[in-house]
Structure 1
Amino acid sequence: MQTSPSSPLSPTAQMPLIADDDGVFTLSFLLLPEYAMVSLLSAIEPLRIANRLAGKTLFRWQCFSDDGEPVLASNGLALQASIPISASEKPRNLFVNASFHPEKHISDASVKWLRELHRMGSMVGALDTGCYLLAKAKLLEGYPITLHWEAKPSFQERYPELEISDELFEIQGKRVTCAGGTAATDMMLYLIDAYFKPELAILVCEQLIKCTARNPTDHQRISQAEKLNLRHPKIVKALDLMASNIENPLTTSDLADRLSVSVRHLERLFLQHLSCSPTAYYLRLRVEHSQYLLSDSGLSIADIALACGFCSTAHFSRRYRALYGTTASQYRSGIE
C-alpha cells in the first residue's frame, strides 16, 4: 500500500481517534435519513477485517439516529435499530453520515448533541455530506474540510467562510471529514496504518481486493481530459483551468495566455480534439455544472446562474434550454 510522505497523521500531528478505557477504538456513526450506505459499509468493513487479521478486537462500531429507530438509506434499505442520541453514554469518535438533502434532515436535537460531544472532547467528523450538520453546529471554523464533489458547490455557496478542499479526506485535530463513497475505505486504511502496523493496513487492503490505498490528495473525480481520453498537454491544462473557474469564467484570451499559446492556436487545438471552440466547450461545462446545483442545493435559480458565471438569469435560462430542451425550473420541479 502506498503511503503519503505528507500524511496528516505524521508523528507530530494530533491523533484524532480516542480509545476506550480498554484500548479499543469505538467508531460511531450518526445516520441521517437518505444517508449513503456505501459510505458506512466502506468505513466499517476495513475495521472488521483488521480485527480478524489481528486476531483481537482493535475496533468496535455502532450506529446512532435521532430516535433510535432504523434509518432509511438512499438505496431504500435500513439496518437494524440504532442507538438514540438521548442515550446516556456519549460516543468518543463520531462520524455524521449523510448524503441527499442533508439540510432537510438536520434536527435541533442533533445540533445540540454534537455541540455537547465537542465540549466533552470527542472527535466529531463527517462522511459525504455530513459536514452540513457539523457546519450547522458551528464546529468547522478553522478546519480544512472535504465532502462529496457533487455537494461541494452548494456547500461552498452556503458556507463561504469555511475552507473546503478537494481531498478524499481531511484529518486535523479532532475533525475528520471524508468525501464518502469508497474514499471511506481509504481513510480507514490510513487510520489503521497510523495506529497499528503498516503491514496490517496492507493485509486489509489485499483482503478488500485493492491494489493500493489512495492518498488523501488523490482526485475525487475523473478529470474531463481522462473522461474524453485526451492526452494533449495544452488541452488537458485548458480543461483543468475551465473546471477550476466556473463562477468567474476565463476568456479565451486568458486561457491562451496561461497556456503560453495564441488564441488562434488554442482554437485550432479545440477544434481538432473536441470538434468545437473553447467558448462552446466552456459554456457547456458551466451549464452542466448548474445541474448539480439545481439538484443538490437550495440556491435560487438566479444564484445558480451567478455561481455558474452567467451575468443574468435570462442568459442562463436560454443556454440551459438550448442544451437540455427544458427550463431549469422544470428540471428542478421534476426532481423534487
Structure 2
Amino acid sequence: MFSKDAQKEPKVIGFLIVPEFSMMAFTSSIEPLRAANRLSGRTLYFWKVLSLDGETVYASNGVGVTADAALTEKPALDTLVVCAGLQANAYSTPPLLGILRDYARTGATLGSVCTGSHLLARAGLLDGHRCTIHWEDVEGFAENFPDLDITATLFEIDRNRYTCSGGTAPLDMMIFGIAADHGRELAINVAEQLLHNFVRVPHDTQRMPIKHRTGLNQPKLLAAIAHMEAYIETPLSIGNIADATQVSARQLERLFRVKLGKTPTRYYLEIRLNRAKLLLMQTTMPIIQVAVATGFTSASHFSKAYKELFGQSPSAERELSLVLAPSQAS
C-alpha cells in the first residue's frame, strides 16, 4: 500500500509537518509503523520527519518536533504524508505546493491526515479522487473545493491518494495499510500492541452517533436532532420535524424542554449558528453567503442571532479568524 513496489522493504515514508499540525494525528500515523517493525523483527517501514525548511515545527499543542530534513531537499520517498492542523490554508505556499506536485510526478503515493487535505487540494492533487478531512472542516473544504468528491468517512484510499480525518483515525488507516502490505495477522498484532481493540474501516463515519454526543436515549428526540443536522441550508419547520419523527409538535416541544432545557426552535437555531461559525473561520465566503448557507434569509437576523449566541458579530468573528491566521508567504 505504501509503495508501488509491493515487495520493497523498507518502505520509506515522509511525514511533512506544517506549523500547528495535530500532534495526535502525527503520532497516530507513526506508532503503528514502529510497532510493525518491532513485532516483525524487520525494518518494514522507515520514516523521515520533514519540514519545508528543515527546522523545528511546533504542533497546535505547543510541542516542537525536530525535522530530519527539509522538504526542499526532496529526499527519496515512497509515500509523503502531509500532517496539518489549525489554519492549514495559511501554509499553502507556492514552494510547498510545487514540491508536492513534483513528488506526484515521480509516482510517489501522497497522503494527508487531519487538515492536510487542504494542501493536497490546493496543489490540485485530489482532483478525480475521493477524499476526506476532519469533520469540523468538511463544510469549509466543500465550499473551497466544490468539484472534489469529499466524504465524511474516517479515511479514504483512492489509488495512490490517502486522506484521513485526523485524531486517532490514522491508527486505523496505518493498520489497514500494514494489513495490505504484510497480512492481517501482523496488523492485528499491531492493533493489540497499541491497545487499539476495535480497528475501524475506511467507510466508518467520523462523528459519534448523536446518542453518544448528546447523552440522550429518547428515539424520537434523537430522530428530531438528526433531521435538524441534515437540513441546515433549508431549515424545516418544527411541525415538519414533528411529522417526520411521528410525534405532535406539542410532544416534541415538551421533549426538548425536559431533556435539553430549551425549545426545539432554539436548539435548531444553535445548530445552524455553530455551523455558521465554522464557515466564517474556515472559508473566505462572504458573510451573506454564510448566512444563506445556514438558512438565514436576512443578514440582519443572522447578525443579531449570531451576536446573541457568541457575543460578537459575524464580521468580528471573521476579523478575529484573520488576525489569528498566520500570514501566507507569496
TM-score, normalisation: structure 2? 0.89
Tell me which protein shows more helix as a share of its residues: 2
Partner-residue secondary structure (3-state), 2:49:
strand
- Residue 69 of structure 1: which of 38, 55, 66 is its match? 55
- Following the alignment from structure 2 to structure 1, what is the Cα–Cα distance between the partners of residues 293 and 82? 27
Partner-residue secondary structure (3-state), 2:80:
strand
Alpha-carbon contact 1:90-1:117 (below 8 Å) kept: no
Pairing 1:301-312 to 2, within 5 Å after superposition: 301-312=287-298
Structure 1 position 204, deviation (Å): 1.4
Q: Does 1:318 align with 2:304?
A: yes
The 1:257/1:160 distance shift into structure 2, 3 A limit, reads farther
- Following the alignment from structure 1 to structure 2, what is the Cα–Cα distance between the partners of residues 277 and 237? 16
Pairing 1:46-195 to 2, within 5 Å after superposition: 46-195=32-181
The 1:254/1:142 distance shift into structure 2, 3 A limit, reads farther
Partner-residue secondary structure (3-state), 2:201:
coil
The 1:92/1:159 distance shift into structure 2, 3 A limit, reads same
- Following the alignment from structure 1 to structure 2, what is the Cα–Cα distance between the partners of residues 128 and 258? 35
Q: Which residue in the other structure is 1:218 paired with?
A: 204
Q: Which residue in the other structure is 1:6 paired with?
A: none
Structure 1 position 125, deviation (Å): 1.3
What fraction of aligned residue pairs are identical, expressed as a percent?
39
- Following the alignment from structure 2 to structure 1, what is the Cα–Cα distance between the partners of residues 48 and 206? 27
Structure 1 position 273, deviation (Å): 3.2
C-alpha deviations, 1:11-51, integer Å up to 9, x for none?
Answer: xxxx4643488422221112222111221111001110111
Query: Unpaired segments of 5 or more residues in structure 1?
Result: 1-14
Q: Cα RMSD between the aligned structures?
A: 2.2
Q: Which residue in the other structure is 1:197 paired with?
A: 183
Structure 1 position 272, deviation (Å): 4.1
Partner-residue secondary structure (3-state), 1:167:
coil
Q: Which residue in the other structure is 1:26 paired with?
A: 12
Structure 1 position 265, deviation (Å): 4.2
- Following the alignment from structure 1 to structure 2, what is the Cα–Cα distance between the partners of residues 331 and 121? 42
Alpha-carbon contact 1:16-1:175 (below 8 Å) kept: no
In the alignment, residue 247 of structure 1 is paired with which amino acid? Answer: E
The 1:257/1:163 distance shift into structure 2, 3 A limit, reads farther
Structure 1 position 69, deviation (Å): 1.8
TM-score, normalisation: structure 1? 0.88
The 1:20/1:200 distance shift into structure 2, 3 A limit, reads closer
- Following the alignment from structure 1 to structure 2, what is the Cα–Cα distance between the partners of residues 268 and 38? 41
Structure 1 position 178, deviation (Å): 0.2
Structure 1 position 327, deviation (Å): 2.2
Alpha-carbon contact 2:233-2:293 (below 8 Å) kept: yes
The 1:193/1:88 distance shift into structure 2, 3 A limit, reads closer
Q: Which residue in the other structure is 2:230 paired with?
A: 244
Q: Does 1:234 align with 2:210?
A: no
C-alpha deviations, 1:97-151, integer Å up to 9, x for none?
Answer: 1111111111111211122222221111111111111111111122111111111
In the alignment, residue 63 of structure 1 is paired with which amino acid? Answer: V
- Following the alignment from structure 2 to structure 1, what is the Cα–Cα distance between the partners of residues 182 and 262? 53
Query: Unpaired segments of 5 or more residues in structure 2?
Result: 325-330
- Residue 280 of structure 1: which of 266, 277, 280 is its match? 266
Alpha-carbon contact 1:242-1:250 (below 8 Å) kept: yes
Structure 1 position 53, deviation (Å): 0.7
Partner-residue secondary structure (3-state), 1:130:
helix
Alpha-carbon contact 2:2-2:11 (below 8 Å) kept: no
Alpha-carbon contact 1:19-1:26 (below 8 Å) kept: no
The more displaced of 197-206 and 84-93 is 84-93
In the alignment, residue 17 of structure 2 is paired with which amino acid? Answer: L
In the alignment, residue 167 of structure 2 is paired with which amino acid? Answer: G
The more displaced of 310-319 and 166-175 is 310-319
Alpha-carbon contact 2:9-2:45 (below 8 Å) kept: no
Q: Does 1:328 align with 2:317?
A: no
Alpha-carbon contact 1:100-1:296 (below 8 Å) kept: no
C-alpha deviations, 1:155-197, integer Å up to 9, x for none?
Answer: 1111111111111100110110000111111111111122223
- Following the alignment from structure 1 to structure 2, what is the Cα–Cα distance between the partners of residues 23 and 60? 9
Partner-residue secondary structure (3-state), 2:27:
helix
- Residue 277 of structure 2: which of 264, 271, 291 is its match? 291
The more displaced of 131-140 and 78-87 is 78-87
Structure 1 position 245, deviation (Å): 2.1
